[in-house]
Amino acid sequence: MKPDLRCEFVEEIPKIIKKKASVFERLTIKEKAQTIVLLAARSGTWALIQKNVSVSSVEQWKSLGCEVVLRNCFNNKGDVYARWPDKS
């Protein structure tokens, strides 16, 4: 599987910062499945998985089993950070 550039792993999630958002981004079901595989391979590690998406997308990722937070919120859109729960 080729690397998915939508999944940018980070050492820690950023503090909440309010700023103006840029372009709206959506993922297909296949892209979400690929992202889940990448997160599961590095369980417990946070990754920036979507930028400037609706706050409702957090619930979608949670329903897939991810731990999720939203940062850089502006006008009900923000950046989604997620991680697969650590096995230990």
Q: Is residue 48 part of a domain?
A: yes
* Mean pLDDT to the nearest integer, 39-48: 91
Q: Where is pLDDT greater, at 27 or 75?
A: 75
Q: Is residue 13 part of a domain?
A: yes
How many domains does the structure of the chain reveal? Answer: 1
Per DSSP bridges, beta strands 77-83 and 67-74 are antiparallel
Q: Is residue 88 part of a domain?
A: no
Q: pLDDT averaged over the chain?
A: 77
Instruction: List the one residue out of 71, 67, 51, 49 whose CA is nearest residue 59.
Output: 67
Helix (H) or strand (E) holding 37: helix 29-41
Query: Distance (Å, rounded) from C-alpha 12 to C-alpha 81?
Result: 10
Q: Is residue 49 part of a domain?
A: yes
* Mean pLDDT to the nearest integer, 54-58: 87
* Mean pLDDT to the nearest integer, 68-78: 88
Q: Percentage helix, strand, coil, to 5, in the chain? A: 25, 30, 50
